[in-house]
Amino acid sequence: MEYLCLDLEGVLIPEIWSEVAKHTGEEKFNLTTQDIKDYSELMDMRMELVNSMNLSMSDLNNLVDKMEPFEGAKEFLDWARDNFQVTIVSDSFYELAWPLIRKLGTPNMVCHHLEIDQDKLKGYKLRQNENKKKVIHTLQSLKYKVFASGDSYNDIQMLKEADFGVFFQAPKHIRDEFPDIGSVESHQELKEALIKRSNFVQITR
């Protein structure tokens, strides 16, 4: 069976930190890996803002609890899990994203951890360097044919290493920078692209 690796934010759910920006009024929270290529630089900035604004983990969880996956994301994921082995490969954090993961039906996810002490964010721990690329390589070493989709700079290595990688609603400046990577604009288009590349009979819902 073939394997599908999906980014989380921007593909299945809205950007969590953009919701924090709406709540706090701090525009810097709107910056994502579509804007800043260095993920550690981005997260260091976020941690500084969280601490300077005295935001607790409970504050963040309350915001995420109120969010919903993109329209059609759960249905797409249900279809994908019927037809592929599926893993979400994200630079988000289990402790932050879990309410939305549950709303998606609790799919398998490989991501990072937040360091929390008495409801305060103390830092973050990356699973490994080049995590997305290494996940693809591991699956390929197990003889899977791997498909992947994401929307940001931090997805580039994953998309390039996969047997078939495609942008999902990536901004124009990223698509222009990497014209060799195809792009889709909806879950339906992504489904059609996967069907075209797949070698097995599709199960339909």
Whether 38 contacts 32, CB under 8 Å: no
Catalytic residue among 2, 9, 95, 161: 9
Return d(Cα 202, Cα 113) in angstroms, integer.
35
Catalytic residue among 7, 15, 19, 161: 7
Side-chain-facing half-sphere of 155: CA atoms under 13 Å: 35
- Rounded (10°) angle between helices 94-103 and 57-65: 20
Return d(Cα 14, Cα 183) in angstroms, integer.
18
Alpha helices (H) in the chain, listed in sequence order: 16-24, 39-52, 57-65, 73-83, 94-103, 131-141, 156-161, 172-177, 187-197
Residue 161 among the catalytic residues:
no
Residue 35 among the catalytic residues:
no
Side chain identity at residue 49, one-letter code? L
Residues involved in catalysis: 7, 9
